[in-house]
Structure 1
């Protein structure tokens, strides 16, 4: 890093000279026009036209006949922030290829099939960053993941005919993918940061919390799978133990997300970390009881292991909240 002195010209305008090495490496000469980005996090960035992501290709092409490649490439294009993708194959597109395009598009917010021909299909992503709220999407993702967890724990008492997760895992994936796309565009295009209304550290923390919430939802679904495998549901103290720990784990997620988004004070993140640790200790105690209960409790161990992993993931969400607190300079103290 180097420093430059701020000077004034005749009309009172402030000026700062550009480093010669940087200007030459970017092909900038006197008379050229550069873009200035004044960000809400106090950064003033200089960007050449060649470096602006807005001038980069907004469209992509997929030339593959393999449905798995098409699906993954479409998801990658969405995450990378492209606006349009065309899928082309040698010869006519098969029904299987068209189905994977439609299925992938349905799994992403704002993505839809815009045009079709015998040999090509084009999808467009119509998302305006100024209308996207990363914080609200994270709150909704947290709510959906917690509802999956709550229903999975309750299914231990009486396994339902259908999975307690239902289609909500798809909603988790849709919300997570939109957050990832927004953060990716913010990292690549400086103007996107202001359009999203968040600083770059805040966007990264939201992305980190999203990743942990996605894992939390995945493991919560395992509790439902364990419930479906039970020959007989637990009763009395075992069931209440699962419910109590489950409520604690979900409260940890609420507090972790709240602090990450600036809704709750730092103390909430500290308390959430402690609560996650205490939840794991209660699960350890419950596991020791299962060991003494003999083979009849074998199926419950699967559910207990899954519940423990959700407690670990919840603790990771709370840690993201602590990261925001530490970055802001607020002290993290023990409760008095």
Structure 2
């Protein structure tokens, strides 16, 4: 709800404006108490209470079955993992895991103990997540605590690492498919292509977590120095890079089970596909530079130069799509074979990669425009 109030000037030149009574009463704010003002990048002011209770992501509690309530330590572990991950991605600073309160207990302290299966799940979560640690582990209570300063979260570095993982998946998938094409008797292996899934999930979850923290906590938002558009852009890019890797693995999986027969495309097709793979890799690299400003932590690209990288990524997308179209036409004009299907899968990987690069590059262009 928008409410308009008149700005007034008091003796000494100070400007004042009254705060709605309903707002103050709802938050228990009284005359003489401090109020926080946060200057937004767009020039607006955010007013909020300084009461710690107004921090919605300070902590959350996950209630689990006690050890004596389950005959199997692994009972409900999958559900606990999902709840832990949800709390982590939601951005909570502290995640408290405990059984329901027992009879005669005070507050939230329980007399029941936490099962071994739950303990393993929480420890695994702490080891496999960025920015949190196992702070307290007692019989009836486990606490995960944030250790990475949300106000200094290295979004750009996480995006660059995610780009490398996605690009690696793309390159390995195409190479594996084309190896299978040149040696029709051997279907490609899936294990190494999907092997970085866990690392990608860890990075995407961390980026989502700290974007959420920044949007919910004005102090974190102010320290980062980003506007909302850039923060949301980082989250979108992370999910784009993760999705393209998953799509590539799915394409690879589909063609891995095709009986190749004895036919294979020409050597010129394989050579052209190799060159296009390099082009797709460079398009993704330049798109990430357009957003983060560099391809590694030791270099930096001026804002005006980032737009050049974004445009180059989009132009590369167009060139690759043109060449892929020509290769597909050539495959259609020849005799249809199962090997042609495998070649089409390889081209599909390239198409998905360059289209992902173009979407990221577009975000980079819009981000630069918002800085002008």
The TM-score by the shorter chain falls in which range? 0.7 to 0.9
CA distance in 2, matches of 1:122, 1:14: 45
Specify the alignment match of 1:195 in structure 2.
Answer: 223
In structure 1, distance between residues paired with 2:244 and 2:57 = 36
CA positional deviation for 1:73: 1.0
Which residue number in structure 2 is paired with residue 278 of structure 1?
A: 319
User: What is aligned with 2:126?
Assistant: 105
User: What is the TM-score normalised by the length of structure 2?
Assistant: 0.74
- Of stretches 96-105 and 139-148 in structure 1, the one that deviates more from structure 2 is 96-105
Write out aligned runs for 1:144-183 (5 A): 144-158=165-179, 163-165=191-193, 167-183=195-211
Secondary structure of the residue aligned to 1:294 is: coil
> What secondary structure is seen at the aligned counterpart in 1 of 2:192?
coil
Q: How far apart are 1:37 and its partner, in Å?
A: 1.5
Alpha-carbon deviation of 1:2?
A: 5.7
CA 1:326–1:195: 2 relative to 1, 3 Å: closer
**2:11 aligns to what?**
10
How far 1:142 sits from its partner (Å)?
A: 1.8
CA distance in 2, matches of 1:123, 1:281: 51
1:300 corresponds to which of 321, 336, 343:
343
| Whole-angstrom CA distance in 1 between matches of 2:364 and 2:255 | 32
In the TM superposition, residue 306 of structure 1 has moved relative to its aligned partner by 3.2
Aligned to 2:244: 216
The yes-or-no answer on 1:207 pairing with 2:235 is: yes
Mapped to 2, the partners of 1:178 and 1:252 lie a distance apart of 25
CA gap 1:140/1:44 in 2 versus in 1, 3 angstroms: same
User: What is the aligned counterpart of 1:261 among 284, 292, 317?
Assistant: 292
Deviation track 1:260-311 (CA, whole Å, cap 9, x = no partner) reads 2354432432332232233233323323333334223233333333332223
The corresponding residue for 1:332 is none
Give a deviation string over 1:153-194, Cα, whole Å, max 9, x none.
Answer: 333454787833464332222221111111101111111112
Aligned to 2:64: 63
Out of 274, 278, 289, which is 1:247 matched to? 278
Q: Deviations over 1:87-126 (max 9, x none)?
A: 3357654444333333333331123333334454433332
Q: 87, 92, 105: which is aligned to 1:77?
A: 87
- Equivalent pair of 2:190/2:253 in contact (CA under 8 Å): no
Structure 2: 5+ residue stretches without partners: 66-74, 101-111, 181-187, 294-300
SS of 1:61 mapped into structure 2: strand
Higher deviation after alignment, 9-18 or 229-238 = 229-238
Change (3 A) 1:167 1:52: farther
- RMSD of aligned residue pairs (Cα, Å): 3.3
Distance in 2 separating the partners of 1:52 and 1:41: 27
Measure how far apart 1:72 and its partner are: 1.2
Q: Distance in 1 between matches of 2:147 and 2:20?
A: 39
Deviation at 1:19, TM superposition (A): 4.7
Q: CA, structure 1 residues 282+99, in 2 after alignment: closer, same or farther (shift >3 Å)? A: farther
Partner of 2:48: 47
Contact 2:284 2:353 in 1 (8 A): no
Structure 1 distance, partners of 2:163, 2:32, is 50
Instruction: Count the aligned residue pairs.
Output: 329
Pair 1:12–1:266, CA change in 2 (3 A): same
| Alpha-carbon distance in 1 for matches of 2:276, 2:88 | 37
* Aligned mates of 1:112, 1:24 — CA distance in 2: 37
Deviation string 1:122-163 (CA, Å, 9 cap, x unpaired) is: 333322123422222222222232233233333345478783
Structure 1 stretch displaced more, 206-215 or 1-10: 1-10
Matches of 1:43 and 1:234 in 2, distance apart? 61
User: After superposition, what is the alpha-carbon deviation per residue over 1:235-274, rounded to whole angstroms, capped at 9, x for unaligned?
Assistant: 6222223222222222222222222235443243233223
For 1:56 and 1:216, locate their aligned partners in 2 and report how far apart those are by CA, in whole Å.
31
